[in-house]
């Protein structure tokens, strides 16, 4: 190796800054992040073209069915998953459980999902995400919730949807709410912004920033109920930057087939002929649940604020 | 001559490259299908996940046309995952990972560590003069060996991070993330010169 060409090179690299934290999410855009519970699942996800995997204790459909307290995955399993794949590994921590997050950071996980799918550890406060070098993704149901999480330091947002149902209706509702909120904010007069910040329950500085840029300062994925290639493409056409898919893959009859098809449908979301082609012969999708008839206390999206 | 520059749009930091190229005056367009590729003068391979792009290139029949365009001398600018795709050899990759070999470099995936170790640094990039270039490295690949025809434009910690070979510009970092478009301008100047030579 020849000698370094410059004196400035090699000094003071800055790790853990806002740009690198938000930046990894930028690199995942247009891709699919898949829930996995073990190394074998993680390998299937990587084989299928996932841009990242999400380690969790049980897929949401099982959490919903089995009940009990859902926590961060067991550390040994997380390590096995990290060793099994070359793509980024994310993992879920409970809302407000900053020590689970510290443990995940110590393990070298690439992104932490402070997730309503797990049982909340704090019903009042979310994690102060600015204090971590590792970036966080958080769920939201509307623009106000998205901006509260960004205000706490989230470097990526995903709409909550209703995890483990295989029903895309809540994902659609939440994506429309976030993007509709952005369009509304853009159209306001500057003297209406404080009132809008109050209405949204959102930090004023972020409200003003979005009024000017017209876009969230972080990447916004869809999540919670995506079960088919057409669901994935629907969320992309609505304006998602990418998709999280949980139970939809490993609760289907053909996980590898579904995973590959959902990856393709996320890239070619506006090409119905491609979506048709990749959907052919997949067999049954996961069995879905009717969200409207579910008791309110069973809704995961209502966790966190 | 206005260059029509494609950005490989299978996944990743596509939007930012399109906007940087448009800002520099190029006719920038996403490339997802073989027909898109046939319509561009040059191609940017963006950051993202190289294993994902690799799989989609194969499945959606882009591999052969891409190899063909590269053999004809289509200019490229590749960043991070894109650099991995264009390299000769990938270390710590997946065994089935695609490489086009247009850049005679050996790269190691995720060589700087996991996301925790992702970083920013000021680089001195030779053709850009004195003003440093703020470079963002995200789970970046490291260039560990370069062939005889590869010119090193910038290094960090003793390894090349920006290289040039013929009409190929390869970067381990993300110039599309900072709003500093000097490397995109450099690439476009080269593309436009090549187009003028071909037209003459």
In percent, the amount of chain B with pLDDT more than 90 equals: 94
* Strand pairing report for A111-115 and A14-15: unpaired
What average pLDDT does range B4-9 have in this prediction?
Answer: 98
Of A17, A28, A49, the CB nearest to B55: A49
Tell whether A29 is within 8 A of chain B (Cβ).
yes
Mean pLDDT across the stretch B142-165? 97
CA distance B138 to A19: 10
What average pLDDT is seen over chain A?
Answer: 94
| Residue A9 in this model has a pLDDT that exceeds 60 | no
Q: pLDDT tens digits, residue range B18-56?
A: 999 999 999 999 999 999 999 999 999 999 999 999 999
Nearest CA in chain A to B135: A13
Distance from CA of B133 to the nearest CA of A (A): 10
**Two tokens at B40?**
């561009």
Mutate to test the interface with B, among A13, A44, A245, A266 (most CBs of B within 10 A): A13
Banded pLDDT at A2 (limits 50, 70, 90): very low
Count other C-beta atoms under 10 Å from residue A188's C-beta: 13
Say if CB B140 and CB B172 are below 8 A apart: yes
Q: How far is CA A127 from CA A22, A69, A102, A123, A283, in A?
A: 17, 19, 10, 11, 41
Interval A106-125: pLDDT, tens: 999 999 999 999 999 999 99
Round to the nearest angstrom and report the end-to-end CA distance of chain B. Answer: 12
> Exposed (0-12), middle (13-18) or buried (19+): which is B113, by Cβ within 10 Å?
middle
What is the pLDDT at residue B1? 65
CA distance B23 to A154: 29
Pairing type for strands B159-165 and B168-171 reads antiparallel
| CA angle (A102 as vertex; A114, A15 as ends), nearest 5 | 95
What is the length of chain A?
A: 305
- Tell me which of A5, A43, A79, A92 is the catalytic residue: A92
Helix/strand/coil for B16: helix
pLDDT tens profile A173-209: 999 999 999 999 999 999 999 999 999 999 999 999 9
pLDDT reported for residue B2 = 83
* Rounded Cα distance, B73 and A126, in Å: 53
The predicted structure's pLDDT at residue A106: 98
- Tens-digit pLDDT profile for residues A23-78: 999 999 999 999 999 999 999 999 999 999 999 988 888 988 898 899 999 999 99
Question: What is the model's pLDDT at position A10?
Answer: 47
Spatial separation of the C-alpha atoms in residues A101 and A288, rounded to whole Å: 31
Q: What percent of chain B has pLDDT over 70?
A: 100
Say if CB A178 and CB A221 are below 8 A apart.
no
Q: What is the dihedral angle through the alpha carbons of B134, A136, B14, A233, rounded to the nearest 10 degrees?
A: 180
User: Could you tell me which residue, B1 or A263, shows the higher pLDDT?
Assistant: A263
The reported pLDDT for the residue numbered B198 is 84
Measured over the CA atoms of residue A140, residue A146, residue A150 and residue A152, the dihedral's sign is negative
Q: What is the mean pLDDT of residues B119-135?
A: 95
C-alpha torsion sign, points A119, A124, A127, A129: positive
What pLDDT, on a 0 to 100 scale, did the predictor assign at position A17?
A: 93
Q: How is chain B split into domains, by residue range? A: 4-199
Spatial separation of the C-alpha atoms in residues A175 and A170, rounded to whole Å: 8
Report the 3 state secondary structure along A213-257: HCCCCCEEEECCCCCCHHHHHHHHHHCCCCEEECHHHHCCCCHHH
Scanning B105-124 for CB atoms below 8 A from A yields: 109-110, 113-124
**Closest listed residue to residue A46, CA positions, set B63, B83, B54, B112:** B54
The per-residue DSSP string of A135-163 comes to -EEEEESSHHHHHHHHHTT-SEEEE---T
Closest CA to B83 of B123, B44, B114, B122: B44
Do the beta carbons of residue A246 and residue A37 sit within 8 Å? no
Q: Decide if B176 is catalytic.
A: yes
Answer yes or no: are the C-beta atoms of B14 and B197 closer than 8 Å.
Answer: no
Answer yes or no: do B48 and A52 touch at CB < 8 A: no
| Gap between the Cα atoms of B194 and B73, Å rounded | 10
Judging by DSSP bridges, how do beta strands B76-79 and B103-108 pair with one another? unpaired
- Yes or no, beta carbons of B56 and A15 under 8 Å apart: no
Are A202 and A192 in contact by the 8 Å Cβ rule? The answer is: no
| pLDDT at position A232 over 80 | yes
Cβ–Cβ contact A273 with B under 8 A: no
Please give the structure tokens belonging to residue B153.
């434009």
Q: How far is A276 from chain B (nearest CA, A)?
A: 14
CA B128 to chain centre: 17
Record the pTM. 0.95
* Contact state of B123 with A28 under an 8 Å Cβ cutoff: no
Confidence of residue A147 (pLDDT cuts 50, 70, 90): very high
Rounded Cα distance between A234 and A226, Å, is: 9
Contact B169, B76 (CB under 8 A): yes
- pLDDT of res. A297: 86
- Helix/strand/coil percentages in chain B, nearest 5: 35, 30, 35
Of B55, B126, B139, Cβ closest to residue A24 = B139
- Report whether pLDDT(A5) > 80: no
B52–A31 CB contact, under 8 Å: yes
Q: Answer whether residue B124 shows pLDDT above 90.
A: yes
CATH, domain B4-199, list 3.40.50.880, 3.40.190.10, 3.40.605.10, 3.40.50.720: 3.40.50.880
Residues A241-267, mean pLDDT to the nearest whole number: 96
Helix, strand, coil % in chain A, rounded to nearest 5: 45, 10, 40
The pLDDT of residue A293 is 87
Give the total residue count for chain B. Answer: 200
């Amino acid at each position: 190796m020849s000698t370094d060409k410059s004196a400035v090179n090699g000094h003071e690299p800055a790790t853990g800054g806002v740009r690198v934290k938000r930046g990894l999410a930028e690199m995942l855009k247009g891709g699919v992040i898949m829930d996995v519970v073990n190394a074998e699942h993680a390998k299937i996800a990587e084989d299928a073209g996932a841009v990242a995997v999400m380690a969790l204790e049980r897929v949401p459909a099982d959490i919903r069915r089995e009940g009990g307290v859902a926590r961060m995955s067991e550390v040994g399993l997380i390590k096995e998953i990290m060793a099994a794949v070359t793509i980024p590994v994310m993992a879920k921590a409970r809302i407000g459980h900053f020590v689970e997050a510290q443990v995940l950071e110590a393990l070298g996980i690439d992104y932490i999902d402070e997730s309503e799918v797990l049982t909340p550890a704090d019903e009042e406060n979310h994690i102060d995400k600015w204090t971590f070098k590792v970036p966080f993704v958080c769920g939201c149901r509307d623009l106000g919730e998205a901006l509260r999480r960004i205000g706490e330091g989230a470097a990526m947002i995903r709409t909550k949807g209703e995890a483990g149902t295989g029903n895309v209706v809540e994902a659609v509702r939440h994506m429309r709410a976030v993007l509709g909120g952005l369009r509304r904010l853009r159209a306001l007069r500057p003297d209406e912004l404080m009132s809008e910040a109050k209405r949204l329950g959102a930090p004023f500085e972020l409200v003003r920033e979005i009024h000017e840029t017209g876009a969230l300062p972080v990447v916004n994925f869809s999540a919670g109920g995506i079960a088919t290639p057409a669901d994935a493409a629907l969320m992309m056409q609505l304006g998602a930057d990418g998709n999280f898919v949980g139970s939809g893959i490993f609760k289907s009859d053909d996980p590898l087939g579904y995973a590959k098809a959902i990856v393709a449908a996320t890239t070619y979301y506006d090409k119905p002929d491609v979506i048709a082609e990749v959907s052919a012969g997949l067999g049954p999708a996961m069995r879905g649940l009717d969200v409207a008839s579910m008791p309110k206390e069973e809704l995961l999206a209502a966790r966190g604020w | 001559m206005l260059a029509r520059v494609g950005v490989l749009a299978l996944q990743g930091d596509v939007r930012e490259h399109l906007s940087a190229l448009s800002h520099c005056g190029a006719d920038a367009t996403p490339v997802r299908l073989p027909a898109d590729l046939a319509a561009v003068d040059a191609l940017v391979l963006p950051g993202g996940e190289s294993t994902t792009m690799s799989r989609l290139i194969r499945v959606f029949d882009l591999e052969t046309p891409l190899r063909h365009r590269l053999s004809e001398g289509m200019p490229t600018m590749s960043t991070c995952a894109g650099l991995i795709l264009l390299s000769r050899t990938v270390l710590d990759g997946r065994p089935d990972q695609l490489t086009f070999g247009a850049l005679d470099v050996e790269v190691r995936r995720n060589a700087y560590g996991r996301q925790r170790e992702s970083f920013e640094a000021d680089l001195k990039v030779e053709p850009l003069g004195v003003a440093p270039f703020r470079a963002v490295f995200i789970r970046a690949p490291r260039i560990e060996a370069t062939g005889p025809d590869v010119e090193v434009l910038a290094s960090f910690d003793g390894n090349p991070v920006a290289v040039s070979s013929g009409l190929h510009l390869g970067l381990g970092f993300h110039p599309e993330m900072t709003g500093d478009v000097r490397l995109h301008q450099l690439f476009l100047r080269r593309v436009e010169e090549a187009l003028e030579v071909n037209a003459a």
